[in-house]
Amino acid sequence: MLKKLFGIGKAQDTKNEEAVYSPIDGQVVPLEEVPDPVFSQKMMGEGIAVKPENGNIVSPVEGEIIQLFHTKHAVGIRSLSGIELLIHIGLDTVELMGEGFEAHVKEGDKVKVGDPLITCDLDFISEKASSTITPIVITNGDIVESIEPSGESDAVKGKTKLFDIKVK
- Read off the pLDDT of each residue in 144-156 and give the average, rounded to a whole number: 96
pLDDT, tens only, 98-140? 999 999 999 999 999 999 999 999 999 999 999 999 999 999 9
- Measure the CA–CA gap between 89 and 66, rounded to whole angstroms: 16
| Residue 6: partners with Cβ closer than 8 Å, 6 or more residues away | none
Q: Which of 42, 27, 16, 17 is nearest to 160 (CA)?
A: 27
Residue 104 lies in a domain: yes
CATH number where 67 lies: 2.70.70.10
- Read off the pLDDT of each residue in 157-165 and give the average, rounded to a whole number: 97
88 is catalytic: yes
Q: What percent of the chain clears pLDDT 70, i.e. is strictly above it?
A: 92
Residue 58 lies in a domain: yes
Give residue 14's pLDDT. Answer: 59
Give residue 10's pLDDT. Answer: 39
Residue 80 lies in a domain: yes
Give residue 3's pLDDT. Answer: 41
Residue 84 lies in a domain: yes
Please tell me the total count of domains within the chain. Answer: 1
Give residue 15's pLDDT. Answer: 79
Residue 7 lies in a domain: no
pLDDT, tens only, 78-99? 999 999 999 999 999 999 999 9
pTM: 0.91
Give residue 5's pLDDT. Answer: 41
Task: State which residues form the domain around 69.
Answer: 23-167
Residue 131 lies in a domain: yes
Residue 113 lies in a domain: yes
Q: Which of 70, 73, 88, 104 is catalytic?
A: 88
Residue 53 lies in a domain: yes
Q: In the sheet where 144-149 sits, what is the strand order?
A: 17-21, 161-167, 144-149
- Which residue type sits at 130? S
pLDDT, tens only, 18-64? 999 999 999 999 999 999 999 999 999 999 999 999 999 999 999 99
